[in-house]
Amino acid sequence: MAGETTIIQGGTFINLALIIMLTPIFSSFILMFIRYLEIKKNKEIHGVPVYSALLGIGSLLVSFLFSVAMAIMYFTGEYGSDSEHLTTIVADADMIVGTNFKFGLMIDPLSVLMTLLLGVIAFLIHLYAYEYMDHGEPEVTRFYAFLNFFTGSMFGFILSGNLFMSFIWWEMLGVSSYFLIGYYWKKDSARRAGTKAFLYNKVGDVAFMVAIFLILILHENTERTLDYHLLAELSIPAKELLLPGILLFGAAIGKSSQFPLFGWLPEAMEGPTPVSALLHSSTMVKAGLYLMIRNFAVLYDIHNFHATLPVVDPMAAATFVLFIGTVTAFMGASMATVSTDFKRILAFSTISQLGYIAMAIGAGGKTAAFYHLISHATFKSLLFLCAGSVIHGSGLTDIRTMGGLYRKMKYTMAATFFGLFGLSGFPFISSGFFSKDAVLLAVEKSSVPYAEVYYIVGVFTAFLTAFYSTRLFIEVFFGKTKDGMDKKFDTKNSNPHESGKYILTALISLSVLVILESLMWAISTYGGITFLLTEEWLAEMLGVHGHAFEWSGAFTSFGVVTLGYLLGLYLYQWNPSARDLLKKPLGWMGTIAENRFGIDILINWISMGIVVKYISPAFAAVDEKVIDEYLINTVISQQIGLGSAELADTIDQDYIDGAVNATWRSTRYIGRVFRKLQTGLTGNYAQYMAVGLVLLLALVTVLNEFGLANLY
Amino acid sequence: MVSYGILLAVLGILLVFPQIMRLFDNTLIHIVLYFVFSGILVYLMGTDATILAPLMLITTYFAVMAVIETRVMRAAIFLLLAMVTLGFSYIFLNSEILTALHISVYGGGIAILVLFAAVLIEENSSIVDERTQINGYIITFALAMIMISLVFRGIPKSNATTSIINIDDGFTLIRDYSYFLWTTYTHVIPFLALLILGALIGAVRLALTDKEVIHEEKEVAI
Amino acid sequence: MIDIIWFILFSTALFVTGLLGVITQTNGIRILISVEFMLNAANINFIAFNSYLGLVDFSGWSMALFVIAIAAAEAAIGLAIFISVYRSFGDITLGSIFSLGEATEVE
C-alpha cells in the first residue's frame, strides 16, 4: 500500500487540467461557428479544409503536449507521487450554492495516466482523420468540431472530481457519441445507429442518476459529499453500498456495452473509422469502467481488502460485476468469431475485452483492470486505424472479399500484426499477454464465490480471442481459396493502395507504443525491476496490489493462445475446406452468435411492448389500426423466423419508428387535452386557481403530519 | 384548544345562517332567528363572545347575501353593510384606528364606487351553470376544511426575526417601519390622504373635461 | 378576551364566501365584490394576530393598511375597466366575451 496521501487545493496542476480540458471544447465551438459561416457562404468544399484541420488537430496537439507535461510534472516533480507519497490535487467551485452540486477537478495518478493515454491516442487519431476524411466530404469542419467536443468532454470526465461533474461530462459524451455515430446523417442506417446508441446509453444514465442520489442520501450522519477524495475515506457498511454499486455498474453496462446492453456498439460502426477508433474502442467505452475504477471503494472496502469476508452478501455487487463481465467477454468473443465485417469484428472484440476489464474490477483487481484498460486502448485503437487504412485503401469492408492484401499494404499489415499481437496476447512478450494474464490471475485468486468458473470462461475466451485474431489477419492479408490457392487480390474492381503519410504516422506511432509497452512490461516482469508505468508501479499508485506474476497462469495462457493460433491457421490457411465440415455440427452455435444471442431482439420486443402498452389508451381515438397492424405483423413474423438476421433489422426499424411516432403523437394528444382547459372564462380560471390552492394546502398539511414539511 | 367539532359547528352555522334567513320573508322572524342563532353561537364560543358572536354572524350574513343575491344593486348595498359591521369588530381587537380607516376607505370609498358602477351598468345576469356551481361548493368546502385543520394544529408564535428600533440602516423589516408609522410618524397617513384627495379632485376635473368630448364622439358614431 | 381561533374562523368564513363568489359569478361587478371579501378576510387575520401576539410594533396594522390601499386601487381600476368594457360590448357578463379564449371546435 502506498504511504500517505496528501490533498492539495488548486495550483498549477489545476490550470494545466483546465487547459487540457477546455482547449478542445473552445475549438469545437469555434469550428461550429466556422461551419455556420461555411453554410452561409454556401461554399463547395472538397477534402479537408486547412483551417478546420489546423484548428482541430492544433487544439489536440496543445492538449497532448500539456497532458505529457502534466504527467511528467506530476510523477517526477516536487509534488512527486512516488511509492512513498501520493498527492491528490483537487479544486472545487459551487455550482448551486448550498447543495452538493459543484464543479470539481481531481488530479491523482489514475486521472493523470488516463489523460496521458487519451492525449496520445486522440492526437494521433485527429492526425489520422486529416487524411482519412478526404473523400470529398464537404462537412469535415463539422467532423472536427464534434470530435474536438468529444475529446474535451472526455478529458473533463477523466479529470472530474465528484460524481455530479462526472455525470455532466458523461452526458456530454453520450451526446457527442450520438452526433459522431450519426455523422453521415443522410444514411438511414447511420441515423438509426446513432439513436440506438443514445437510447441504450440512456438506460445506463438513469442507473447512474439513481446511484448518485443513493450515494448522496447514504451519509445520514456524516457530511454529505459526492467528491471522490472524500468518498474514499468514508467508512460505510458494505450492505448500504450494494445498490449504489450495482447501479453504478448499470451505468457502465450502458456506456461500456456490457451484457445485455451491448447492441449499440456493432451498430456504432456506421460512424467514420476515426470515430470508431477514438470513441468506441479506446476512450468513450472505457468511461464506464473508468468510473467503476474510480469508485472502487463502493465495491470493495479497500482497507480490509485482504481480510476474509464472513458474509457473502456484501460481495454481491462485485459478484454481479464479475458475472456480467464474464458473460460479456464470452459473448463478444463468440460474436467476433462469426462476424464478417472488418469493423464489426473489432467491435465485438472490443465488447469482449471490455468484459475482461469488468471481470477484473469485479474480481477485485483494480490494478489489473487499469492495466488491461491501458493496453487494450492502445492496441484496439491501432487496430481500428488499420481497419480504416484498409477500408480507405481498398474500398472494401467485408473480409471475405479481401485477401492477399499483403503485397500492396505492407505497412498496414505490419501495424495490424502488432495490434493483433497485443489483442490476442502473444505469449510471454506482448502487452496484451501481461494485462490479460493479470486479469485472469485476479479472477482466479478472487474472493468472490465460484471464481473458478469465471476463470475457466475467461481462459476459453482467450482461446477464442486468439482464434478470431488469426482469422482476421489471414482473411484480410493472406487467405487461401477453397481449392487451396493463395488469394490474389482482384485488381479489376478496385485498386488497393497503401495509405498516405498521416495515416501511416498514426499507425506507426501506435505500433511503436504497443511495442514499447510490451518491452517495458516484459523487462519489469522478468527482470523484477519496477519503474514508471509498470504493473508494480501502477499498484503503488492506485493503492491496490495485484498478485505477483505466476508462471502457472502464464503457461495456461500460452497453451490456449497457441491453440487458438493453430486452429486459426489450420482452418483458414492450411486447410480451408475443413470449414465446410464444421458447419454441420457447429453451425447452430454460429447462428446464435450471429443473432447476438437474441439479446437485441429481446430488447426490441420489450421496448415495443412497453411503448404500445403505454400509449395505446391514448391512441384510442386516433390511428389505432396502423399501430396494431405494425405490431401484430412483427410479433407473428418474429415468432416464425427467429433465426433470420433480416428480421432483426426489420424489428429495429419498427422500434425506432414506433418510438418516434409515439413521441409526436402523445405530444399532440396532450396538447389537445390541455388546450381544452383554455376556455377564456374567468370563472374557470378562478376555479383552477382555487383547486391548485386547495391541493397545495392539502399537500402541505399531509406532509406536515409526516414531518416532511414544516408549517411553522 | 377548542375541539375540531366545535370549530366545524361554528363555521357551519356562520355559513348556513343566511340560507335559513332567506327562507323566510317576515322581518320579525328574521330578528328572532338572529337572536336564536347568536345565542347558539355564544353557547358554543363561550360567554366571552357575547358581543362578538352576533357581530360575526351579521357580517357573514351580509357577505353571503352579497354573493348570492341576483340583483347587482342589492349586492353592492350588502357589501357596504358588511364592511361597516366588519369595521366595528375591529374595535374589539384594540385597533380603533383601523376601524376608522376601514369604514372610511371600504365603506365610504370602495362600496360607493361599486354602487355607482352598479348604477351605471344595468346588468343582472344570473349565476353560471350547475357544474361550476357544484365545483365551487366543493372547492370552498375543501378549502374551509383545510384551513380549519391548519389552524387546529396550533397557533404560531411571533416569527419576527430580528429586533427593532435601530434605524441606522433604514427600514428593512416591516416591524421597524410599522413601529415608526404608528407611533412617531403617525401624521404620514393623514398627509397622504390629503395628497390623494387632491389627486382625486384633479381627476374629477379632468374627467369632467373629457365628458364633452365623449358626448361628441357618441353623436358622430351614431 | 375570546380565543383567537374564532377570529381565524371568521376570516375563513369570509374568505370562503368570497372564493365561492369568484368561482360562481359571471357578472364582473359581483366578482369584484367577492374579491373584496377575500381581501377583507386577510385583513381580519392580520389585525387579529397583531392584537393577540401583543405586537408592540403594530406590524399587523401596517399590513392591513397596505391591503386596504391595494384593494381600493384595484377596485377603482377594475370598475373603470368594467365601465369601458360595458361601453364597448354592452355586456358585462364575463362568460360571453370570448376574444381571448381558445376555439372550442376540435381541428
- Roughly how many angstroms between the first and final C-alpha of chain B, as a whole number? 68
- Is A1 a residue whose pLDDT tops 50? no
What are the sequence ranges of the domains in chain B? 4-158
Q: How far apart are CA A528 and CA A547, in angstroms?
A: 14
pLDDT for the residue numbered A301: 57
- Which chain A residues touch C98 with a CB distance below 8 Å? 680
Helix, strand, or coil (residue A89): strand
Distance (Å, whole) CA A499 – CA A129:
12
Report the residue from A687, A697, A712 with minimal CB separation from B146.
Answer: A697
Could you tell me if residue C35 is inside a domain?
Answer: yes
pLDDT of residue A533 exceeding 70: no
The domain in which residue C85 lies consists of 26-93
Please judge whether B156 and A712 are an interchain contact, meaning their C-beta atoms are less than 8 angstroms apart: yes
How distant, in Å, are the alpha carbons of A22, A68, A136, A275, A278 from that of A150?
Answer: 11, 19, 23, 10, 9
Q: Which chains touch A (3 or more CB pairs under 8 A)?
A: B, C
- Cβ–Cβ below 8 Å for B123 and C92: yes
CB A132 within 8 A of CB A274: yes
pLDDT in tens, A98-114: 666 778 888 888 888 89
Which residues, 6+ apart, have CB-to-CB distance to A499 below 8 Å?
A: A131, A389, A392, A393, A409, A411, A412, A507
Q: Give C-chain residues touching B102 at CB under 8 angstroms.
A: 43, 68
| CA end-to-end distance (rounded Å), chain C | 63
The chains found to touch B (3+ Cβ pairs under 8 angstroms) are A, C
Closest CA to A272 of A193, A351, A333: A193
pLDDT at B76: 92
Q: What is the CATH number of domain B4-158?
A: 1.20.120
- Average pLDDT across chain C, whole number: 82
Give the B-side interface with A, CB within 8 Å.
128, 132, 135-136, 139-140, 142-143, 146-147, 149-150, 153-154, 156, 159
Rg (CA), chain B: 23
| CB–CB contact B150 A697 (8 Å) | yes
When pLDDT is averaged across residues B212-222 and rounded to a whole number, the result is 47
**A205-219, A243-257, A461-475, A494-508: least confident range:** A494-508
The three cell numbers of residue A195 are 439513436
pLDDT exceeds cutoff 70 at A123: yes
Average pLDDT over residues A36-46: 76
Dig out the grid coordinates for A183 from the structure: 455523422
In one-letter notation, the amino acid at residue A502 is Y
Check B143 against A701: CB less than 8 A apart.
Answer: no
User: Tell me: the pLDDT tens digits for A171-184?
Assistant: 999 999 999 988 88
Could you say which of B136, B140, B153 has the minimum Cβ distance to residue A711?
Answer: B153
Distances (CA, A) of C70 to A244, A409, C63, C75: 54, 87, 11, 8
Q: What is the largest CA-CA distance in chain B?
A: 69
Query: Helix B52-68 to helix B4-23 angle, to the nearest 10 degrees?
Result: 60
Determine which of A688, A689, A697 to mutate to test the interface with B (most B C-beta atoms within 10 Å): A697
More confident residue, A306 or A80: A80
Distance CA(A683)–CA(C25), nearest Å, equals 7
- Contact status, residue A280 vs residue A178, Cβ threshold 8 Å: no
Total domains in the fold of chain A: 2
Q: Residue A310 has what pLDDT?
A: 36
- What pLDDT is recorded for position A522? 82
Question: Which among A678, A683, A690 has CB closest to C102?
Answer: A678
Q: Does A683 contact C25 at a Cβ distance shorter than 8 Å?
A: yes
Q: Looking at residue C32, what is its pLDDT?
A: 92
Q: Dihedral angle at the C-alpha atoms of A53, A58, A63, A69, nearest 10 degrees?
A: 140
Domain at C65, CATH number: 1.10.287.3510
> Nearest Cβ partner of C5 from B2, B94, B174?
B2
* Containing structural domain, residue A641: 597-668
The whole-angstrom separation of Cα A501 and Cα A664 is 49
Q: Which pLDDT does position A598 carry in this prediction? A: 76
Mean pLDDT of A194-220: 84
Segment A336-364 shows an average pLDDT of 88
Let me know: does A173 contact A48? Beta carbons within 8 Å: no
Look at residue A300 in the predicted model and tell me its pLDDT.
Answer: 66
Q: Above 50 in pLDDT, residue A287?
A: yes
Q: Tell me, what's the pLDDT at A293? A: 85
Secondary structure E strands in A55-214? 86-94, 102-107
Q: Which residues of B touch A684 (CB under 8 A)?
A: 132
pLDDT band of residue A29 (cuts 50, 70, 90) is very high
Is B128–C26 a contact, with Cβ atoms under 8 angstroms apart?
yes
Residue A491, pLDDT > 60, answer: no
CA distance A647 to A71: 50
List helix spans (H) across B24-71.
Answer: 27-45, 52-68
Task: Give Cα A506 to chain centroid, integer Å.
Answer: 21
| Contact at CB, A678 and C101, closer than 8 angstroms | yes
Distance between CA atoms of residues A481 and B109, nearest Å: 106
Q: What is d(CA C15, CA A575) in angstroms, rounded to the nearest whole number?
A: 95
Q: What is the pLDDT of residue A308?
A: 33
Give CA–CA dist A673/A669, Å, rounded.
6
- Answer whether A472's CB lies under 8 Å from A420's CB: yes
Which helix (H) or strand (E) segment holds residue B17: the answer is helix B4-23
pLDDT number for residue B216: 46
pLDDT of residue A273: 87
Q: Which residues pair with A86 in a beta bridge?
A: A5
In a domain, C19, yes or no: no
pLDDT-wise least confident of A507-521, A620-634, A677-691, B67-81: A620-634
In chain A, the percentage of residues whose pLDDT exceeds 90 is 11
More confident residue, A210 or A407: A210
**What strands, in cross-sheet order, belong to the sheet with A5-9?**
A5-9, A86-94, A102-107
User: What confidence score (pLDDT) does residue A545 get?
Assistant: 65
C-alpha cell at A663: 413521441
Distances in whole angstroms, Cα of residue A584 to Cα of each of A567, A580, A588: 18, 8, 8
Report chain B residues whose CB lies below 8 A from the CB of A693: 143
DSSP codes joined into one string, A8-72: EESSHHHHHHHHHHHHHHHHHHHHHHHHHHHHHHT----S--HHHHHHHHHHHHHHHHHHHHHHH
With a cut of 90, say whether residue A597 has pLDDT above it: no
Distances (CA, A) of C90 to A243, A688, A709, B211, B212: 68, 28, 50, 19, 21
Alpha-carbon span B204 to B192, nearest angstrom: 18
- Greatest C-alpha distance within chain C: 63
Query: Nearest CA of chain A to the CA of B140: how many Å?
Result: 8
DSSP assignment of A482-500 equals: TTSPBP---TTT-------
Distance CA A597, CA A260 (A): 10
> pLDDT tens digits, residue range A225-239?
677 777 766 666 666
* Residue of chain A nearest B144, judged by CA positions: A694
What pLDDT, on a 0 to 100 scale, did the predictor assign at position C3?
79
Which of A127, A118, A166, A172 minimizes the C-alpha distance to A149? Answer: A172
**Can you say whether the dihedral through the CA atoms of A421, A422, A424, A425 is positive or negative?**
positive
pLDDT tier, A487 (very low <50, low <70, confident <90, very high otherwise): low
Cβ–Cβ < 8 Å for B12, B141: no
Kindly calculate the radius of gyration of chain A based on its CA atoms and give it in whole angstroms.
27
In the predicted model, what is the mean pLDDT of residues A446-469?
86
Q: How many Å lie between the alpha carbon of A697 and the closest alpha carbon of chain B?
A: 7
Comparing CA positions, the residue from A285, A319, A329 lying closest to residue A299 is A319
Q: Are the Cβ atoms of B67 and C6 closer than 8 angstroms? A: no
Average pLDDT on B102-118 reads: 90
Instruction: Enumerate the residues of chain A whose CB falls inside 8 A of the CB of residue B129.
Output: none
Contact assessment for residue B57 and residue B30, using Cβ atoms and an 8 Å cutoff: no
Chain B residue numbers touching C59 (CB-CB < 8 A)? 160, 174-175, 178-179
Nearest chain A alpha carbon to B140: A690
The answer to whether residue B81 scores a pLDDT higher than 90 is yes
How far apart are alpha carbons B109 and B107 in whole angstroms?
6
Residue that wins the pLDDT comparison between A83 and B116? B116
Flag the least confident range among A151-160, A200-209, A519-528: A519-528
The answer to whether the CB atoms of C24 and A676 lie below 8 A apart is no
Residue pairs spanning A and C at CB distance below 8 A: 30
pLDDT higher for A492 or C80?
C80
From A278, A268, A274, A284, select the one nearest A192 (Cα to Cα).
A268
* Summary mean pLDDT of chain A: 79
**Is C5 a domain residue?**
no
Rg (CA), chain C: 18
Query: Contact A680/C100, CB-based, under 8 Å?
Result: yes
- For chains B and C, count residue pairs whose Cβ atoms are closer than 8 Å: 216
Sign of the dihedral through C-alpha A150, A156, A159, A165: negative
Q: How confident is the model at residue C16 (pLDDT cuts 50, 70, 90)?
A: very high
Average pLDDT over residues A370-382: 90
Asked if B150 lies within 8 A of A687 by C-beta distance, the reply is no
pLDDT of residue C97: 61
Distance CA A507, CA A692 (A): 66
Does residue A306 register a pLDDT over 50? no
pLDDT the model gives residue A621: 47
pLDDT above 60: residue C5:
yes
* Band of pLDDT at residue B78, cut at 50, 70 and 90: very high
In a domain, A633, yes or no: yes
For residue C40, what pLDDT is reported?
94
B128's CB contacts (< 8 A; 6+ apart) are A683, C24, C25, C26, C95
Does residue A649 sit within a domain? yes
Nearest to A85 by CA among A9, A10, A6: A6
